[in-house]
Amino acid sequence: MTTPNNPNDYINWLKLAENGDKIAMNNLANCYKNVGTEKNLEKAFYWYQKAAEMKLRI
């Protein structure tokens, strides 16, 4: 699992995820699920689902 090392990681992953980066989508979901931002399981599920739709292999 990738977690943010600094506050800018979340911001960068959000921008990348919004532009279709499937790795960033997964990392962003991890932030919402575990650490890095306020816990929000709905947003975590959304980003995990988007990454899965792009055929992210973990």
- pLDDT per residue rounded down to tens, the chain (58 residues): 565 667 788 899 999 999 999 999 999 998 898 776 788 999 999 999 999 999 887 6
The pLDDT assigned to 17 comes to: 97
Q: DSSP assignment, residue 27?
A: H
The pLDDT assigned to 29 comes to: 93
The pLDDT assigned to 48 comes to: 94
Residue 31 CB partners (closer than 8 Å, separation 6+) = 3, 4, 9, 10, 13, 37
What is the chain's alpha carbon radius of gyration, rounded to the nearest angstrom?
10
Cα gap 6→36, rounded to integer Å: 9
Residue 49 CB partners (closer than 8 Å, separation 6+) = none
